[in-house]
Amino acid sequence: MKIYEKSLNEMKKIVARYTEQTIDFEIEKTVSEIIQNVAQNGDQAVRDYERKFDNVNLADFSIPAFQLDQALDSIDEDLRAALELAKQNITSFHKQEIENSFVDVSTPGIMRGEKITPLASVGLYVPGGTAAYPSTILMCGIPAKLAGVKRVVMVTPPQPAGINPAVLAAAKLAGVDEVYQVGGAQAIAALAYGTETIPAVDKIMGPGNIFVATAKKQVFGKVAIDMVAGPSEIGILADESANAKEIAADLLSQAEHDKRARAMLITNSKSLAEAVSKEIERQLSTLPRQEIARTSIEDRGFIAVMENTAEMFELMNDVAPEHLEVQLKNPTQYLGLIKNAGSVFLGRYASEPLGDYVAGPNHVLPTGGTARFASPLGVYDFVKRTQFIQFDQQNLKADLKAITKLARTEGLEAHARAIEARFDKED
Ligand SMILES: NC(=O)c1ccc[n+]([C@@H]2O[C@H](COP(=O)([O-])OP(=O)(O)OC[C@H]3O[C@@H](n4cnc5c(N)ncnc54)[C@H](O)[C@@H]3O)[C@@H](O)[C@H]2O)c1
Ligand SMILES: N[C@H](CO)Cc1c[nH]c[nH+]1
Ligand SMILES: [Zn+2]
């Protein structure tokens, strides 16, 4: 893994190159053609793309409900227990995100408020190209149901041997209402525009590879999307107290997701940097997904050795990683220094995969630097807010002068007259 020893300013420029979101025009073009074709030709276009990209010939995309029940009955006891544990912890954490409507009647004669309404229908994209992700179904489906969404539609790429039973079992546990075996940009297009079989939804959630993330960006406006949750990322801040073997293992845990995944270590210890680099090589050779992980580490991974912890945090805030591990002595004291990160893992025993599976917080997180302005997926993504106002005559009269002044300042005479009409003498 490449090790840099540069000044903060030089390192900031290097990091900007690593994390730069260059637009890949080839991918943009491929995706926009797929979306257009699916919008125009519906199921037939989806079927053609599934044959082309996933090598699967599908007569029907829908998975009947009884197959979800069968899958839940068929999985082994330990997997069932693991899914149940994850469900329990995700549920208890996300329950705390439930927002309440409110009514403000603090001024006599005025009622103002905000009403929370669940979205009517959402589409959950569950990745399935190079790995199956039952955990992602729980992370998306549980908050959707806690929010009160009635129609939760899941899409996931088809597999030549059929969808992994663990995926269908997780869909059942999460309370997903409909499942379609469709993947990639064609699945996002189908959810946005609807086809003969797949219903259009109001909002599309969930992570995916670059084709999925690009498609979500392109259909935004026709439907809502949660965020750009693309190839996984991990940034680790570590000092000499950290364990090189554990740091390397954590970096590889995200590198194995995708050739475009990003793994980064920022430290103030040269000896730790060298030890981690060696460990990465050693551990890589034993990983089943070593080809993916190696490409990710070689193309997008780096270690930066900085002067002190202040520089380490400043640089990491520029990166704004999806996951940030703080492997420093007394890690909680640094929480205030973290500005940009999707999810923060404090200390040796908060290894990133803990959060991927059972800790409770969401693992669908902003990537590609978007943690500067975006948040983890949560119950709040599955609802909308509507505000309401009621005034009595006396309170409207008290505000008449201000409203008409503002309306006429904006050149909007009809606005002013609408208010004044309430106080016209009867003619
Ligand atoms: N950020 C998060 O919260 C989060 C969570 C879980 C997974 N992930 C990420 O999800 C991704 C999963 O990727 P994946 O590939 O395994 O599954 P995927 O389901 O995202 O993508 C597979 C689909 O990509 C399409 N595709 C593949 N090659 C194509 C091509 N050349 N042209 C057009 N379409 C093509 C196919 O339709 C295929 O069905 C990884 O990047 C992983 O890091 C992110
Ligand atoms: N680390 C991924 C988010 O970037 C989530 C995940 C699911 N399964 C394993 N990992
Ligand atoms: Zn992961």
Q: Are 243 and 274 in contact (CB under 8 A)?
A: no
3-state secondary structure of 124: strand
Average pLDDT over residues 309-326: 97
Relative to the CA of 229, which ligand 2 atom is closest? 4
Strands (E), 242-381: 262-267, 302-305, 323-327, 343-346
Average pLDDT over residues 401-408: 98
Is 183 touching ligand 1 by the criterion CB < 6 Å? Answer: yes
Rg (CA), the chain: 25
Residue 199: pLDDT over 90: yes
Mean pLDDT of the chain: 96
Residue whose Cα lies nearest atom 21 of ligand 1: it is 129
Residue 426: pLDDT over 80: no
Average pLDDT over residues 147-174: 96
Whether 322 sits among the annotated catalytic residues: the reply is yes
pLDDT tens string 30-69: 999 999 999 999 999 999 999 999 999 988 999 999 999 9
Pairing mode of beta strands 224-225, 110-118:
unpaired
Q: Are 58 and 47 in contact (CB under 8 A)?
A: yes
Give the pLDDT confidence score for residue 97 in this predicted structure. Answer: 98
Is 363 touching ligand 2 by the criterion CB < 6 Å? Answer: yes
Give the pLDDT confidence score for residue 111 in this predicted structure. Answer: 98
Is 279 touching ligand 2 by the criterion CB < 6 Å? Answer: no
Cα–Cα distance measured from residue 62 to residue 68, given in angstroms and rounded to the nearest whole number: 12
* Active-site residue (options: 322, 325, 352, 363): 322
Is 232 touching ligand 1 by the criterion CB < 6 Å? Answer: yes
Six-digit token pair at 73? 């009955």
pLDDT tens string 65-102: 999 999 999 999 999 999 999 999 999 999 999 999 99
Pairing mode of beta strands 102-104, 110-118:
antiparallel
Cα–Cα distance measured from residue 417 to residue 410, given in angstroms and rounded to the nearest whole number: 13
> Would you give the DSSP letter of residue 5?
-
Give the pLDDT confidence score for residue 12 in this predicted structure. Answer: 96
Relative to the CA of 352, which ligand 2 atom is closest? 1
pLDDT tens string 364-391: 999 999 999 999 999 999 999 999 999 9
> Would you give the DSSP letter of residue 107?
S
Six-digit token pair at 172? 């059942």
Residue ranges near ligand 3 (ion) with Cβ within 5 Å = 356
pLDDT > 70: percent of the chain: 99
pLDDT > 90: percent of the chain: 93
**Model pTM score:** 0.94
pLDDT tens string 352-366: 999 999 999 999 999
C-beta atoms surrounding 62 within 10 Å: 14
Nearest Cα neighbor of 342 from 362, 360, 366, 312 is 366
The greatest distance separating any two alpha carbons of the chain, rounded to the nearest whole angstrom, comes to: 91
Relative to the CA of 364, which ligand 1 atom is closest? 3
Q: How confident is the model at residue 343 (pLDDT cuts 50, 70, 90)?
A: very high
Is 214 touching ligand 2 by the criterion CB < 6 Å? Answer: no
Average pLDDT over residues 248-256: 98
Indicate the annotated binding residues for Zn(2+): 254, 257, 356, 415
Give the pLDDT confidence score for residue 129 in this predicted structure. Answer: 75
> Would you give the DSSP letter of residue 176?
-
Cα three-residue angle 34-37-39, rounded to 5 degrees: 105
Reported ipTM: the value is 0.96
C-beta atoms surrounding 316 within 10 Å: 25
Residue whose Cα lies nearest atom 4 of ligand 2: it is 232
Cα–Cα distance measured from residue 346 to residue 376, given in angstroms and rounded to the nearest whole number: 17
Ligand 2 binding pocket mutation candidate from 90, 135, 251 (most atoms within 8 A of CB) = 135
Cα–Cα distance measured from residue 223 to residue 214, given in angstroms and rounded to the nearest whole number: 14
Q: Are 218 and 230 in contact (CB under 8 A)?
A: no
Q: Are 213 and 365 in contact (CB under 8 A)?
A: no
Give the pLDDT confidence score for residue 340 in this predicted structure. Answer: 98
Is 136 touching ligand 2 by the criterion CB < 6 Å? Answer: yes
Domains and CATH numbers, the chain: 25-227 (3.40.50.1980), 231-374 (3.40.50.1980), 394-423 (no CATH)
Measured CA to CA in angstroms, residue 111 lies from 99, 104, 398, 415 at distances of 20, 6, 15, 21
Strand partners, 265: 236, 303
Give the pLDDT confidence score for residue 427 in this predicted structure. Answer: 58
pLDDT tens string 152-162: 999 999 998 89
Residue 122: pLDDT over 90: yes
